[in-house]
Amino acid sequence: MHETNSNFIHDIIDRDLESGYVQEIHTRFPPEPNGYLHIGSAKAIWINYMAAKKYGGKFNLRYDDTNPVKEDDEYVRAIEEDLRWLGADPGGGIFYGSDYFDKCYEYAEKLIMDGKAYVCDLSQEQMSEYRGTLTEPGKPSPYRDRSIEKSLDLFRRMKAGEFAEGAKTLRARIDMSSPNMNMRDPVIYRILFAHHHRQGDKWCIYPMYDFAHPIQDALEGITHSLCSIEFENHRPLYDWVTDNIGFEKKPHQYEFARLNMTYTVMSKRYLRKLVETNTVDGWDDPRMPTLCGLRRKGYTPSAIFDFIARNGVSKALSMADVRLLEYCICEELNDTAIRRVAIVEPLKVTVTNYPAGQTEYFTFSNHPKKPELGSRELPFTGELYIEKSDFMAEPVDGFLRLRPNGEVRLMSAYILKCNEVVFDDKGQPCELLCTVDLETRNNKPADGRKVKGTIHWLSAAHTETAEVRYYNQLFNKENVATLLEDDNFDEFIGDDSLVIYGGCKLEPSLGSATTDERFQFVRMGYFIKDSKTDGVFNRISPLKSSFKPE
């Protein structure tokens, strides 16, 4: 896992350890199980996990399952799978917010009995009216001065299911004139008749996140509650909860800027819409920024964390260039991926002077810079496939590959000359009649002539057939996250977000490829076998990213 340099969070931890304020670092990742994790989640995981790892502390996974309407066991399973795939072991334990419902209820009663919470009958619309604005203070609820006994009785009856949804809430009594809107008597419990994925029908009242989260942190012994910057204005309420419940050891919240990325949307609401409208092939579509989508596309945890580390940790909002993510995987796979030959758009070549029925073999390195990875033998016969783009019937200036009456080097084999072109009924080349210089088996021409171009090839009789998919950016606007609305998805979907090539030809060894192996298809890019559909390879990235690091 990519290590991190010190950042402002580590500076805070250093001070807390030096002062003796804390003795052991304990962090957590608290996802809501209402969707799949995305690369923005990976940043939160990396920050929390690496902080715990750096200081020899503990790291928890805790599901924030306080809203049963949107939660599902499918997401619970997927979140843990993604977390472990990233290598972030939750050694501190796996917990659920719902594990603490009894304690949350107990603490809510304590706040009522301490005169710090009350049952309110205002509707959501009325509360909004009473709340005030950023420039005007709010008005106290007419139920704010209910007696402790009355609020306690009503709260218990809320728990017993005596009232309809929306009829009553439990609110913290704080300050209706606070400049922080989150402190204007926020709702800390609401009535919700919904089946919970773990608790079943035990509860019909549920704590709000801003009330439950600090309680969960305190009960688990979290020392540094690290979250994204949108929770900064919620921190006073976080502290109010832990202060007024009276925890001896209080966690503290610290915020960092979330990960935003060009040509990408991170909102679970929009990601879910993409799935539900069949705009994509599920949450794991390789065009999605989800971790399962990136995994299916062929990205590695190390490349994802390298990308996050290069973006850094700060409070300043910024937009990461999606090309940097591609750059990170290209850099890694150039070093680690073994080489294989594949013809994405095959063009048939008949070698007219090659002995009929003969097969010979040429040696290909598995990695040009790593001889320890060995080599393999590829068969050569009188019928070959080359890449369609490696031939031009009417070549443009600067085209150095095969042309009529031109020559190229077949990679690791002979020099090939095109003598005749066969066209189909649409006027497109469908077969090349060629000859090879049989004296140039891995040798230069005896007459000293120069052959500039080198192309890859496969024996037509010795190939696997597959489909190859090029997954490109799903959206066609760099700042798409600021443009999307519920009904305008279609205008921002890129026309080339998915390009499918059928009838591709692969060297024989790729027939036994697994979904965990990553390959460089020589001269074509990096590829991986699709994990959902047999006989399909997905492009991970081109050979080189257009991103230029500073």
Q: Exposed, middle or buried by CB within 10 Å (0-12, 13-18, 19+), for 415?
A: buried
pTM for this model (two decimals): 0.93
Q: Which tens digits make up the pLDDT trace of 17-73?
A: 999 999 999 999 999 999 999 999 999 999 999 999 999 999 999 999 999 998 889
CATH-assigned architecture of domain 8-256: 3-Layer(aba) Sandwich (3.40)
Beta-carbon contacts of residue 357 (< 8 Å; ≥ 6 apart): none
Tell me the pLDDT band of 548, cut-offs 50, 70 and 90: confident
Return the higher-pLDDT residue of 161 and 548.
Answer: 161
DSSP structure string for 108-120: HHHHHHTTSEEEE
DSSP-derived 3-state class of residue 532: coil
Does residue 487 have a pLDDT over 80? no
Q: Are 306 and 328 in contact (CB under 8 A)?
A: yes
Predicted local distance difference test score (pLDDT) of residue 488 = 85
Residues with catalytic roles = 32, 258, 268
Give the percent of the chain with pLDDT over 90: 93
Amino acid making up residue 13:
I
Tell me how far apart the alpha carbons of residues 181 and 392 are, in angstroms, rounded to a whole number: 67
Q: What is the per-residue pLDDT for 173?
A: 98
Contact 218, 242 (CB under 8 A): yes
For range 460-467, the mean pLDDT: 98
Please give the angle made by the CA atoms of 399, 403 and 406, to the nearest 5 degrees.
Answer: 105
| pLDDT range class, residue 449, cuts 50, 70, 90 | confident
What pLDDT does residue 490 have? Answer: 84
C-alpha to C-alpha distance for 76 and 108, rounded to whole angstroms: 27
346-455: CATH architecture: Beta Barrel (2.40)
Structure confidence at residue 358 as a pLDDT band (50, 70, 90): very high
Q: Taking 90 as the threshold, does the pLDDT of residue 186 lie above it? A: yes
Beta strands per DSSP E along 67-112: 93-96
Tell me whether domains 8-256 and 346-455 share a fold.
Answer: no
Q: What's the pLDDT tens digit per position in 197-220? A: 999 999 999 999 999 999 999 999
Map out the domains of the chain as residue ranges: 8-256, 268-339+466-541, 346-455
When the pLDDT of each residue in the chain is averaged and rounded to a whole number, the result is 95
Confidence of residue 4 (pLDDT cuts 50, 70, 90): low
DSSP-assigned letter for residue 389: G
* Strand residue runs (E) in 33-82: 58-63
Do 9 and 25 form a contact (C-beta atoms < 8 A)?
no
Q: How far is it, in rounded angstroms, from Cα 305 to Cα 45?
A: 10
Q: In this structure, how many other beta carbons lie within 10 angstroms of the beta carbon of residue 300?
A: 19
Say how far apart CA 158 and CA 118 lie, in whole Å: 12
Question: Which residues pair with residue 498 across a beta bridge?
Answer: 471
pLDDT band at 3 (very low <50, low <70, confident <90, very high): low
* Whether pLDDT at 230 is above 90: yes
- Round to whole Å and give the CA distance between 150 and 113: 10
In this predicted structure, the answer to whether residue 444 has a pLDDT above a threshold of 90 is no
- Domain 268-339+466-541 adopts which CATH fold? Ribosomal Protein L25; Chain P (2.40.240)
Does the pLDDT value for residue 2 go beyond 90? no
Region of residue 392 (left: phi > 0; alpha: psi -120 to 50; beta: else): beta
146's CB contacts (< 8 A; 6+ apart) are 118, 119, 154
